[in-house]
Amino acid sequence: MEFIKNGKRIDKRLPNELRPIKFEVGALERADGSCYVEHGGNKVMAAVYGPRAVHPRHMQEANRAIIRYRYNMASFSVEERRRPGPDRRSIEISKVSREAIDPVIIKEFYPRSTIDVFVEILQADAGTRSAGINAASVALADAGVPMRGLIASCAVGKVDDTVVLDLVKEEDNFGQADMPVAMDVRTGEISLLQMDGHFTLEEFEEALQLGKEGCTTIAEMQREALVQKYQGEGHE
């Protein structure tokens, strides 16, 4: 498969270009915080509940809130119908996504509580864990959960021996490498980094740099979406 022609990718993007991204803050009425994200062909909803009481109670921590994160792919979100319910992949993604957002949440403010994050993938086109983390991060802020910053995430990879930002499904499935990254762009702290495939050391460094730039752009969009919703509020 040929991925790059005349310097352009299969969806006409440049190697260092993100897909179009749109955040809608507070899309759900019944959640404490929510965010709907469209990221290229991905459509993702994140809902946050809490801080609230922990059930079952034996899971509670005396000095801090616990964070629970459920990533779920709808059966209709992918080309080949997915069997509903958790599988190895979604359990793994839930775990790494929880660890990705955890460092910015000030858990000590809410002992014996839980903050529950639900991420539903309604339509998938590669990079769903990143889109989910981006949505979750904004939904947490929308819920008023105290945070040190926002976590932004995107994938980088390699196709036709070229390092590219934000893979589409064909690039993810048939390319040479796929590396999702999540970070707090204020501190530069990376809270998720996974890799499928192979990079040389130079390619890895180039990919990491490109990933950081992608996260910086996304973090600005997240901030912008929150400002849009909340500017003016609290002054009446």
The span from the CA of 10 to the CA of 19, in Å, is: 12
Q: Nearest approach, Cβ of 90 to ligand UDP (angstroms)?
A: 9
The span from the CA of 165 to the CA of 63, in Å, is: 40
Q: Which of 82, 107, 158, 212 binds ligand UDP (CB under 6 A)?
A: 82
124 binds ligand UDP per the rule CB under 6 A: yes
List Cβ neighbours of 83 (8 Å cut-off, separation of 6 or more).
75
Say how far residue 110 (Cα) sits from the centre of its chain.
Answer: 24
The span from the CA of 84 to the CA of 37, in Å, is: 22
φ, ψ for residue 202, nearest 5 deg: -65, -45
For ligand UDP, the binding residues in 133-192 under the rule CB under 6 A are 169, 172, 178, 180
CB-count burial class (<10 Å; 0-12, 13-18, 19+) for 108: exposed
Smaller CB separation from ligand UDP, 51 or 180: 180
Smaller CB separation from ligand UDP, 15 or 40: 40
Helix or strand (DSSP H, E) at 120? strand 113-123
Q: Nearest approach, Cβ of 128 to ligand UDP (angstroms)?
A: 3
Q: Collapse the DSSP code of 187 into the 3-class scheme (helix H, G, I; strand E, B; otherwise coil) and give the result.
A: coil
Smaller CB separation from ligand UDP, 35 or 168: 168
The span from the CA of 24 to the CA of 29, in Å, is: 13
207 binds ligand UDP per the rule CB under 6 A: no
Q: Which of 18, 74, 78, 195 binds ligand UDP (CB under 6 A)?
A: 78
For ligand UDP, the binding residues in 16-75 under the rule CB under 6 A are none
Smaller CB separation from ligand UDP, 172 or 184: 172
Q: Nearest approach, Cβ of 48 to ligand UDP (angstroms)?
A: 20
Size of the site for ligand UDP (CB under 6 A): 14
Where does this chain bind ligand UDP (CB under 6 A)? 78-79, 82, 89, 124-129, 169, 172, 178, 180
